[in-house]
Amino acid sequence: MSEVAVQVDHVSKKFRLYHERNQTLKAAIMRGRTSVHEDFWALKDITFDVPVGSTFGLIGSNGSGKSTLLKCLANIYYPNEGSINHFGRIAAMLEVGSGFHTELSGRENIFLNGSILGMSKKEITQKFDEIVDFSGVEKFIDQPVKNYSSGMYVRLGFAIAINVDPDILVVDEVLAVGDAEFQEKCFQKFRDFKAAGKTVILVSHSMETVRAMCDHAAWLNHGDLMAVGEAKPTIKAYNDSLSNGLA
């Protein structure tokens, strides 16, 4: 079995920034040219490995490329250059209520979201009670999720993702929405994952969270990989750069 859960190999990702935009086809024909744009490279030649069984943090200031890289890891974005290889089943929890249909009930969305994440109807049925219990939304499970608070969205979405039983779980800063009790349940789930040899990759602005949970980390700055390796020295390098006004 490979000792690497995820291999990021010379990954670069660009977006087009438009300075002018043709609002209609008629305007485009009349002007005789396309919109003016420039390429913005959100990630530049990123290379690192995520070890199997690690809790791996992605850190950096706003605009550093963390969320773009996380979406590349989750196959939502695809690199313009380089490649990302996963060695195992992957599940992602990136946005509050991503994959939910607001008009459907919590019960219906468990089956919908579970199927999107690759679970069979039989698997979802078997894990339904566990998902509801973990989320804590039992009283509202047959209500449309459009009536849920953001915290309820997060709890239900995370409960579904965690019960896909992935080898690799990718998590954005969504846990900040949950209350302290729910956050502790999530952290315990991460610890259980680690004990089972599974891999967690997360983005967090809280260095306390990264220091407490992560054994490895990568620091990004304006799309460049500044440091990668064990969490504590990587966090220290990032914090030192903040103190020196470099990040």
Looking at residue 109, what is its pLDDT?
A: 94
Tell me the per-residue pLDDT of 25-46, one tens digit each, with 9 for 90 and over. Answer: 666 666 555 566 788 999 999 9
Answer whether 0.85 is exceeded by the pTM.
no
Tell me the per-residue pLDDT of 163-208, one tens digit each, with 9 for 90 and over. Answer: 888 899 898 876 666 677 888 888 888 888 888 999 999 998 889 8
Tell me the per-residue pLDDT of 60-74, one tens digit each, with 9 for 90 and over. Answer: 998 899 989 999 998
pLDDT of residue 6 exceeding 70: yes
Compute the distance between CA of residue 228 and CA of residue 66 in angstroms, rounded to an integer: 13
Query: Which tokens hold the place of 60?
Result: 């950096």
Compute the distance between CA of residue 207 and CA of residue 194 in angstroms, rounded to an integer: 19
142 three-state secondary structure? coil
Instruction: Report yes or no: 95 and 74 within 8 Å, Cβ to Cβ.
Output: no
The angle, 0 to 180 degrees and rounded to 10, between the axes of the packed helices 150-162 and 121-135 is 140
Question: Pairing relation of β-strands 90-93 and 168-171?
Answer: parallel
DSSP 8-state class, residue 139: G
Q: In the beta sheet, which residues pair with residue 48?
A: 8
Of 75 and 141, the structure prediction assigns the larger pLDDT to 141
Write down all domains in the chain, each with its CATH number in brackets: 50-243 (3.40.50.300)
CB atoms within 10 A of CB 94: 20
